[in-house]
Amino acid sequence: MTAATYPVDMSVTPNVKAFFDSATNTISYVVKDPDSKACAVVDSVMDIDYAAGRITYDHADAIIDYIKQNGLKLEWLIETHVHADHLSAAPYIQSKLGGKLGIGDKITVVQDTFGKVFNEGTDFQRDGSQFDRLFQDGDTYEIGGLKAFAMYTPGHTPACMVHVIGDAAFVGDTLFMPDGGSARADFPGGDAATLYDSIQKVLSLPDGMRLFMCHDYGPNGRDIKWETTVGEEKAHNIHVGGGKTKEEFVKFRQERDAQLDMPKLIIPSLQVNMRAGKLPKEDESGKRFLKVPVNGL
């Protein structure tokens, strides 16, 4: 794979509004073109009470209300990757406000992997056709007059992409805040060495680039935070900052990942998010079901 050249433009500062979901420690964003009413939503959350099998939309409705109240026009719904810890609300928001739904083109790899895990039939398409746009490395798109591009950052999952919009980068699960380190790399298709290389790509962006996290868990009891910069991460990230080597990172990451429990919502999240946030089709009774693969993950 030849490295793409990325059209970085630090002269443009989009407005970024964050929405924190305390149930899953996910941060969703509305990113607005400073010169128009155009906006994008990055990594929205659909609420689930998994024990009750109940889905609701409070978090997504807050985003929809914000967009409506500010008279914004939703042009894009971006998923940085197939999340394993929360369900995407992108189709719900799209049904209310329009916009195109995009994810990395390696979604096909993720769909193939989890299509098998969940023994999905042939009606589950593994070609990414549930999305409106499949981004390749370096692909550009526009939010009004705002130029954005997608950057391959596999490692946490094979389909991870960081989206760079002016001086703001939405890093998904490549990086956490400097005191949080990095995301796990042990899901099927994940790889710690690949994640290290992807993080280096992010850290090669300009020092002043604002970085927006997908998750924060408030380590050591601090308040939840989601914004930092490339310069801060390079200097202080506890897993990769201060010039940590790939070997050090891989050893640490693998040892740490071996001790982590599966995310509480991984089973419903994967089944829904590999379908672009849509629930499985109704069965003959008109009801929808999620599966639990026994000893399958």
Our CB check for Fe ion shows the closer of 241 and 263 to be 263
- In angstroms, the CA 37 to CA 228 distance is 25
Our CB check for Fe ion shows the closer of 24 and 146 to be 24
Residues 6+ apart with CB under 8 A from 151: 4, 6, 137, 138, 161, 162, 163, 164, 201, 202
Tell the smallest beta-carbon distance from residue 284 to Fe ion (Å).
Answer: 34
In the bound state, the residue with its beta carbon closest to Fe ion is 173
Our CB check for Fe ion shows the closer of 173 and 233 to be 173
Instruction: Select from 11-19, 64-72, 78-86, 193-201 the region that touches Fe ion (CB under 5 A).
Output: 78-86
Tell the smallest beta-carbon distance from residue 83 to Fe ion (Å).
Answer: 5
Hey, what are 105's tokens? 């083109």
Burial class (CB in 10 A: 0-12, 13-18, 19+), 160: buried
The residue with tokens 């929205």 is: 44
Binding mask 124-163 for Fe ion (x = CB under 5 A): ----------------------------------------
Q: Should residue 216 be labelled a site residue for Fe ion when binding is judged by CB under 5 A? A: no
Tell the smallest beta-carbon distance from residue 36 to Fe ion (Å).
Answer: 31
Our CB check for Fe ion shows the closer of 55 and 265 to be 265
Our CB check for Fe ion shows the closer of 75 and 173 to be 173
Helix/strand number for the chain, H first, E second: 7, 14
Our CB check for Fe ion shows the closer of 83 and 210 to be 83
What phi-psi label fits residue 226: left (phi over 0), alpha (psi between -120 and 50 degrees) or beta?
Answer: alpha
Sheet order of strands, 210-212 included: 140-143, 146-152, 161-165, 168-170, 210-212, 227-229
Our CB check for Fe ion shows the closer of 32 and 83 to be 83
Our CB check for Fe ion shows the closer of 105 and 173 to be 173
| Interaction residues for Fe ion, span 157-176 (CB under 5 A) | 173
Tell the smallest beta-carbon distance from residue 297 to Fe ion (Å).
Answer: 15
Tell the smallest beta-carbon distance from residue 74 to Fe ion (Å).
Answer: 23
Single-letter amino acid code for the residue at 121: G
Instruction: Select from 12-20, 80-88, 128-136, 245-253 the region that touches Fe ion (CB under 5 A).
Output: 80-88
Torsion angles phi and psi, residue 239, rounded to 5: -100, -30
Tell the smallest beta-carbon distance from residue 208 to Fe ion (Å).
Answer: 26
- In angstroms, the CA 203 to CA 178 distance is 12
- In angstroms, the CA 7 to CA 252 distance is 33
Chain length of the chain: 297
Chain contacts with Fe ion (rule: CB under 5 A): 83, 173
